[in-house]
Amino acid sequence: MLDDTLIGELLRLGEIFRAQPTRGRSIVKENTIGLALVCVIGCALALCPARASDEALPADAAPPTEAADKAGGDVMAVVNGQSLPMAKLNELLTRIHGMAIAQQLIANEVVRQAAAAEGLSVTDAEIAAENEQTLKRIFGHVSGEGDRERLLAQLLAQKGVSREQWDMTMRRNAVLRKLAEAQVTVTPDDLREQFAEQYGRKVVVRHIQTASLAEAEDVYRKLLDGADFAELAQKRSTNASARTGGLLPPIGARAVGLPPAMRDLALSLKKPGELTEPIQIGTTFHVLKLERIIEPRDVKLEDVKVELEAEIRDRKIAAMQQSILRRLLESADIEFVNPILKAQQPQDAEGIRQ
């Protein structure tokens, strides 16, 4: 389901996407953001592959007319006078997509029960607000609400996910927001850290990652001899940033998503063009090049306090929403009764959240 790690990854991908030049970029073709979006809305039918054995009808299946009669006459279609029963369609759909939808329905139900126990409910306006806020977080580079809805429709269509699934998730998240809001506070330390990250000094670096020290040293020598860093990163780096020539998003003092040692190394660079010698971080080796420095902005904390507090609160609520959902699923007594779903049942709540 909607996991805090996954949504964090979605927002990180969104930041990278928004940082890229707009020329030649098609939102429909942004596979990384599309895949993360599927994770955000929970169960992705388009990514729940059916097993070949599930798709095939049993060898001893009854003829269509006979099966329809046994099913009590519920007929899907009549082909050349032969009836095809709804039971066969229902069984096949359950085998292929049933678990994905069942997982969403179970998540919705545990959240509904928790809200009922607290006497909470959500209005259509609150659900609409949750939808708008989510779209702003994903498509923050797009100003018009209509444009954001259009981009969402493209992504959903690309991934074969219905608008009904999205709306169901927005309703659940609106309820989770109400459950989370009372548990979230913004501290002075939170404000100072966010201010430093948003308005403090940052650096933009390129990065090459290798599996061995020997490879890193060879890369370093080539760079000293004048090799183009971006081209070398594309050819030699084992990091995902290789496809962008090793370019990383701006790094500040509170940057997350990369090892602290990498962050500190990047921030230690002083002059554009400066290289680091190969350094081991974890099990891999790294060479960095400083592209440019983003100097601190001349802004006072008091002038942006309200804005920062809202951003921090929203981020904390998003994390708390997922924490609450995880806790509800882990503590729920879930028993699948349908034999098809029972055979596919996850061993624990982790399977339901995925």
Most confidently predicted of 22-26, 39-43, 52-56, 317-321: 317-321
Enumerate residues 6+ apart whose C-beta is below 8 A from 149: 135
Q: For residue 36, give both structure tokens.
A: 């993360």
What domains does the chain contain, in order, with CATH numbers? 4-52+92-186+312-353 (no CATH), 201-294 (3.10.50.40)
pLDDT at 51: 36
Q: Which residue has the tokens 């608008």?
A: 163
**Do 44 and 36 touch, CB atoms closer than 8 A?**
no
Q: Identify the band that residue 262 occupies on the pLDDT scale cut at 50, 70 and 90.
A: very high
Write 290-293 long-range contacts (CB < 8 A, 24+): 290/203, 290/204, 290/205, 290/266, 291/203, 291/204, 291/205, 291/206, 291/247, 292/203, 292/204, 293/201, 293/202, 293/203, 293/204
Q: What is the mean pLDDT of residues 60-88?
A: 70
pLDDT at 344: 86
On the question of pLDDT at 218 being above 90, the answer is yes
Q: What is the mean pLDDT of residues 59-66?
A: 46
On the question of pLDDT at 2 being above 50, the answer is no
Q: Identify the band that residue 19 occupies on the pLDDT scale cut at 50, 70 and 90.
A: very low
pTM for this predicted structure:
0.60
Helix spans in the chain (H): 4-19, 31-40, 52-55, 64-70, 86-93, 99-118, 124-138, 145-159, 163-181, 188-199, 213-224, 229-236, 260-267, 301-331, 339-344, 349-353
Share of the chain above pLDDT 70, in %: 77
Burial class (CB in 10 A: 0-12, 13-18, 19+), 133: middle
pLDDT tens track for 89-114: 999 999 888 888 888 889 999 999 99
Q: Which amino acid is at 22?
A: T
Q: For residue 325, give both structure tokens.
A: 């959902």
* Residue 353 to residue 202: CA distance in whole angstroms: 36
